C-alpha cells in the first residue's frame, strides 16, 4: 500500500475511535486519486449497514454516477466482513487491499515490538488503535 493511503486510513481510524466507533476506515482510489473515504458510523447513525466499506462505496458511486466501480481499488484497515465482501463483489471493485486480518487483539498487540529506529509499522500502529479502543470499552464496563 502506498504511504499516502496508509496515512489517510490511520487518520480516519483515529477519528472513528474518537467518535466511539469501531476504528475501521476505508478509501476508494481511482487513477491513483482518492475519490471517497469513510470510517465506521454504526453507533452514530444507528444503522447496522454503516460499515466504512459500504459508506465509501456509496460515496464513490455517487461521485462517479455509477454503481459499477470497475476501475477502482478499495483500501481498508481491517479485512472486510462477509457482508462487506458481498457488497464489494457486487460493486465490481477491481482490487481490495487490507492492512490486517481479524487479529486477536489481546495476544497479538500485548507487546508491540518496534524496529531499531523505534518506529512501528502501520500494521502495528493500527493494531494499537484497535487495542486501545477495545480496552477503553472494557474499562467502561
Question: Residue 137 — φ and ψ, nearest 5°?
Answer: -60, -45
Q: What b/e sequence results for 40-51 when a residue is b if at least 16 CB atoms lie within 10 Å of its CB, and e otherwise?
A: bbbeeeeeeebb
Q: What's the first-to-final CA gap in the chain, in angstroms?
A: 37
Q: Which of 3, 21, 43, 53 is catalytic?
A: 53
Active site residue 53: yes
Q: How far apart are CA 95 and CA 82, in angstroms?
A: 16
Q: How far apart are CA 97 and CA 77, in angstroms?
A: 8
The answer to whether 24 touches 52, Cβ cutoff 8 Å, is: yes
The answer to whether 9 touches 20, Cβ cutoff 8 Å, is: no
Question: What residues are labeled active site?
Answer: 53
Amino acid at each position: 500500500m502506498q504511504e499516502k493511503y496508509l496515512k489517510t486510513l490511520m487518520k480516519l481510524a483515529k477519528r472513528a475511535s474518537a467518535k466511539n466507533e469501531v476504528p475501521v476506515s476505508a478509501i476508494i482510489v481511482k487513477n491513483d486519486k482518492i475519490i471517497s473515504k469513510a470510517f465506521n458510523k454504526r453507533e452514530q447513525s444507528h444503522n447496522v449497514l454503516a460499515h466504512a466499506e459500504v459508506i465509501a462505496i456509496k460515496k464513490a458511486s455517487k461521485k462517479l454516477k455509477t454503481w459499477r466501480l470497475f476501475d477502482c481499488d478499495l483500501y481498508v484497515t481491517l479485512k472486510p466482513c462477509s457482508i462487506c465482501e458481498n457488497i464489494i463483489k457486487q460493486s465490481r471493485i477491481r482490487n481490495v487491499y487490507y492492512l490486517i486480518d481479524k487479529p486477536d487483539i489481546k495476544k497479538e498487540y500485548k507487546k508491540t515490538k518496534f524496529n531499531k529506529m523505534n518506529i512501528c509499522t502501520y500494521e502495528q500502529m493500527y493494531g494499537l488503535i484497535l487495542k486501545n479502543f477495545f480496552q477503553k470499552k472494557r474499562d467502561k464496563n
